[in-house]
Each structure stands twice: as structure tokens, then as C-alpha cells.
Amino acid sequence: MGGVTLLAFPIPTFLALYYFEGISPLDVLDLGNLQFDKLALGIVIGMLYAVIALAFMQSSVFDPLPNRVETMVKRMNLSIWDCFFLAVCAGMGEELLFRSGVQYYLGPLITSVIFVAIHGYLNPMNWRMSLYGIIVLPFILIISYALEEFGLWFCIGAHFSYDLVLFLMMRAAAIEARS
């Protein structure tokens, strides 16, 4: 699934921006704007927000959720390498699709809501899941609005580190629960 996200998700962005806007895939990648300080800032913000989100996710209000992310991660029996790989794939693939593609046409606010909804976190039939979506939405808004100022690689770094912290912490909890 990670490979599909990394390789297939950017394709609609590359095609739409190339054919409708004349922007080449290399320009979409914004490699000329890959700066260590902006990438590092994104990584730090992603890590900090992941810790905040994890603190909220530990609330008993989320216990009744049938498809908790932690449960899925536990079943996947991820190695540290798997956690890193999936975080890279999601960070790059999803940010290229949403920040560089969808957001180009719909703007940061609508794109952020769509992003959170597509992940299943805004569910009118499940208020607990929607509550989690409300917790995640500010993070997605931060990276969406930061695109203009800090660039794509800030967004990729933030998304990558957010996912990596979540995967590693959930992996550790799963290992602890088994022992």
C-alpha cells in the first residue's frame, strides 16, 4: 500500500499540472526549494503535533471506536523499517497529491477538509471519529497554509514525521501489549 501511495498518488497531480497549467513534474517536485531548515522545521512541527494528537487519542472517549488506527497498526506487526517506509510514502505521495495538486485548484481550507474526510476522520455517523478528525484538522491546515511560505518539502517533512511518530509509538504499544 505504501508503494502505491508513493508512486501512484502523484500521477494525477503531475498530469493535471502539466496538461492544464504547463508545470512540469520536476517543477512540481520543487527540488530547487529543498532547504534543510524548512524541511527540519516541518519535521519538528510534525513530531510535536503527533505527540499532541497521541495525547488526545489516549482519551477513553476513543475506546469504543471499532477501527482504531492503533488496532490496525498492531495487526500489521510493523518493523521499524516498515514504519519509516510507510511514513515516507504517505509524506511524499499524499503531499504531492493534496498540497501540490488538489490544493492548487481548491485552496488550503477545502483541500484540508477533503484530506481529513478521505482518511475517514470526518464521519457524521460516528462522532468519536469526527472528534479525532477535528484533532487532526488543525495540523493539516497548518501544513496547507504553510505551503506558500515554506514550500512542499516543509509539508512533506511535517507529514512524514507526524506519521512516523504515530507508527513508532503504536508499534511500541503493540509490542508492550504482547509481552
Report the C-alpha gap between 90 and 166 in whole angstroms. 12
Alpha helices in 9-126 (DSSP H): 10-21, 25-29, 36-57, 69-76, 80-95, 103-118
Instruction: Write out residues in the chain with pLDDT < 70, as ranges.
Output: 66-73
What pLDDT is stored for residue 68 in this prediction?
60
Task: Write down the pLDDT at residue 67.
Answer: 59
**Is the CB of residue 92 less than 8 Å from the CB of residue 156?**
yes
Model pTM? 0.94
The model's pLDDT over 155-179, given as tens digits with 9 standing for 90+, comes to 999 999 999 999 999 888 878 877 7
pLDDT value, residue 69: 64
